[in-house]
Amino acid sequence: MIDIALDILSWILLVLGGACVLIGGIGGLRLPNFYTRIHAASLTDTMATILIFVGMMLQAGLTLATLKLFAIMLFLLLTGPTATYALANAALLSGLKPDAGTASDKPKENTPE
Amino acid sequence: MIFIFGLFLLTLLVITAIAIVRTKDLFVAVMLTSIFSLLMAANFFILDAADVALTEAAVGAGVTTVIFLCALALTDDKEKPRQGGRWVAFGTVGVLALLIIYATFDKPRLGDPDAPVHQHIAPWYIEKTTEYIDIPNVVTAILSSFRGYDTLGEVFVVFAACIGVLFILGVSPPRKTRKVTEKNSGLRHHLIPQVVGRLLIPFIVLFGLYVQFHGEYGPGGGFQAGAIIATGVILYALLEGESEALRAIPRGVLLGMVIGGALLYGGVGVACMFMGGAFLDYSVLAVDPIFGQQLGILIIEAGVGMAVCGALLAIFHAFAAREVLS
Amino acid sequence: MNFLELLGYFNYWVFAIILTVGLYAVINKTNLIKKLIGLSIFQSAVFLMYITMDKVEGGTAPIIQKGVEDQIFSNPLPQVLILTAIVVGVSTLSLGLAMVVRISECYGTIEENEILDAD
């Protein structure tokens, strides 16, 4: 009984995680501005990571593999948003203004530090 | 089910390869090459090659991208203009592709246990590993003990590449250069990457050491460990500035690691000769031949890890310390 | 042909396509760094072919576990060869990139036709 409940729960979590990755991917293609696309990519980094990894941890049960999955999830949660921050920071420093009205991505002139 | 996933990954590989060749911006091409290496690593894992997947991920998606980016920063060329005369190349390449596809119809089907490649020496290796060496990872056993000569040659190739890069980039540039001031180097004034990087670097180095010493029990070994530790130190160099990383691990130590790794490997072979066996025959290193084999594998994996780590770091510093032409 | 045969041939066809894409980049592009990227794609395609050959159906990664008898393993020999080849590939690539950096400093450009004209 508890096996079936765990199976169903992990199925739901994995499917939801996959849906989050799909939404992140569609957002990365369709959103107009660079900074909005970073928002879409960061959805994959955080929400989808948690959902997919918790789904896999439920499948693995109480073994060493669960601890390893937890460590990998922690690592991804730590480095994913940092990479997003570094990307946005680099774009801002190289002159790309977070202009909500424009639909083009041409960087403005280079502002040296 | 895994076959559909394999098909999907292969299709992604082809799409990425075509995108790399078609794009004009070199920076985009380098990023796509990193994605290509990661997809290739996932493909290797599906085909049951765990060691190779780990090496491709660490070396291909990690170190190669960093070296490409260093070279891009130095050559200062981002775009690439078009040129004419493409149809001859298309024709040649298309004919070659058709020839290879025609030739692949003769190959045995995927996974056939009666294929010739599975017949002669591979079952012998799998059987005799338990008898002669008694370590779980057959790939490490073959790499370090049964085919130890090839790995010795590979360490020397890495050594030669390191020396070659140091020679080529040891000449100072012919024109006036612009010095990179201390203020500009490193990401020191960006708080978040610094904090996260400082949290992660000890764990990266620890994981590299884990992979090094568990090469006999699971996927791992010297090459992967050297690449992972080199990646950790490169992260430190990116965060704090390259001169700080040179202060932490100076150039003399790096060269010593490369030379020491190669000498350690060759030294174990010569020590085996002195103890009465053939070159690189580890059974004579201890009283019990199986323990002698395991001891020999441990020492040469340490030598390989040192050599690869030192070589990759020396190459990175040679690129990163080069002053940009003004 | 059943599905497994089709997948096997698909692996080899993908190898052929990626090989020729890399070769096209090497012979047709004039930018030196693009040529090196094409060379690394070419190398990866060859690795793919070797590792495809080593799979045995129903097998697992060649790690012997104590107490489990009669396991089918995939062939470990091509994996050893490709491990060496990957590291040699990255060594060659770094050497090539060092030469490109020096060429760009001396000639000022990394387009092949401009370098040949300048000589």
Q: What is the pTM of this model?
A: 0.89
pLDDT score, position C18: 93
Would an 8 Å CB–CB cutoff place C9 in contact with chain B?
A: yes
Q: Does B196 touch chain A (CB under 8 A)?
A: yes
Picking from A45, A79, A106 by the largest number of B CB atoms within 10 A of its own CB, the best residue to mutate is A79
Greatest mean pLDDT among B33-37, B273-277, B280-284, B285-289 lies in: B33-37
pLDDT recorded at residue B209: 93
C76 at interface of B, judged by CB pairs closer than 8 A = yes
Determine the straight-line distance between the first and last CA of chain C, rounded to whole angstroms. 57
Mutation pick from B4, B45, B46, B47 vs chain C, by most beta carbons of C within 10 Å, is B47
User: What is the token pair recorded at B228?
Assistant: 């992972």
- Position B226 scores a pLDDT of 93
- Give the number of A-B residue pairs with CB atoms closer than 8 Å: 19
Q: Express each pLDDT in B207-250 by its tens digit.
A: 999 999 988 888 888 899 999 999 999 999 888 888 888 888 88
The count of domains in chain C is: 1
For the segment C64-87, the average pLDDT, to the nearest whole number, is 83
Q: DSSP class of residue B111?
A: B
Q: Does B156 touch chain C (CB under 8 A)?
A: no
Highest mean pLDDT among B22-36, B81-95, C102-116 belongs to B22-36
- Report the alpha-carbon distance of residue C78 to residue C47 in Å, rounded: 9
C-contacting residues of B 122-141, CB under 8 Å? 122, 125-126, 129-130, 136-139
Evaluate if residue C94 carries a pLDDT over 90.
yes
Its ipTM equals 0.91
Contact C47 B63 (CB under 8 A): no
The tokens for B150 are 């090839």
* Residue C98, in any domain of the structure: yes
Given a cut of 80, whether residue A89 has pLDDT beyond it is yes
In angstroms and rounded to an integer, the radius of gyration of the C-alpha atoms of chain C is: 20
State how far the alpha carbon of A93 is from the alpha carbons of A96, A109, C40, in Å. 7, 11, 32
Which is it for the CA torsion A68, A71, A76, A79, positive or negative?
negative
| 8 Å CB contact of C82 and B161 | no
Looking at the partner chain, which of C23, C55, C94 has a beta carbon nearest the beta carbon of B47?
Answer: C55
CB < 8 Å to C30, chain B? 80, 83
Domain assignments of chain B as residue spans, ordered by start: 123-326
What confidence tier does B3 reach under pLDDT thresholds 50, 70, 90?
Answer: confident
Q: Which of the four pLDDT bands, split at 50, 70 and 90, describes residue B163?
A: very high
Q: Is the pLDDT of residue B164 over 90?
A: yes
Report if residue C112 sits inside a domain: yes
Q: Do B21 and C24 touch (CB under 8 A)?
A: yes
Q: Which two tokens stand for residue B185?
A: 């180097």
What is the nearest CA distance from B272 to chain C, expressed in angstroms? 23
Residue C10: inside a domain: yes
Bridge partners for B325 per DSSP:
B177
Among A21, A82, A84, A94, the strongest candidate for a mutation testing the B interface, having the largest count of B CBs within 10 A, is: A82
Provide the pLDDT for residue A111.
45
* B39-65 b/e (C-beta count within 10 Å ≥ 16 → b): bbbbbbbbbbbbbbbbbbbbbbbbbbb
In a domain, C61, yes or no: no
Range of the domain at C98: 3-56+74-118
- Using pLDDT thresholds of 50, 70 and 90, give the confidence band for residue B117: confident
pLDDT(A110) > 60: no
B190 near C CB under 8 A: no
Average pLDDT across chain B, whole number: 85
CATH number, domain containing residue C104: 1.10.287.3510
Q: Is the pLDDT of residue A102 over 60?
A: no
How do residues C18-70 score in pLDDT, each as one tens digit? 999 999 999 888 888 889 999 999 999 999 988 888 888 777 788 887 767 76
Q: What's the rounded Cα separation, in Å, for the pair A101 and B249?
A: 49
User: What is the average per-residue pLDDT within A83-97?
Assistant: 83
Give B265-272 contacts, CB < 8 A, sequence gap 24+: B265/B151, B265/B152, B265/B155, B265/B300, B265/B303, B265/B304, B265/B307, B266/B152, B268/B296, B268/B299, B268/B300, B268/B303, B269/B148, B269/B152, B272/B296
Contact across the interface for B92 and C27, Cβ inside 8 Å: yes
Instruction: Please report the pLDDT score of residue B84 as a whole number.
Output: 63
Q: What is the pLDDT of residue C113?
A: 74
Q: Which of B183, B184, B196 sits opposite A78 (nearest CB)?
A: B196
Q: Which two tokens stand for residue A31?
A: 């959103």
Those chains having 3 or more beta-carbon pairs within 8 angstroms of chain C are B
H-helix segments, chain A: 2-30, 34-43, 49-60, 64-93
Whether C65 is covered by a domain: the verdict is: no
Give the pLDDT confidence score for residue B154 in this predicted structure.
92
Report chain A residues whose CB lies below 8 A from the CB of B187: 86
Parse chain A into domains and list their residue ranges: 2-93
Each as own residue / partner, the long-range contacts of residues A4-9 (CB below 8 Å, 24 or more positions apart, any chain) are A6/A58, A6/A59, A7/A59, A9/A55, A9/A58
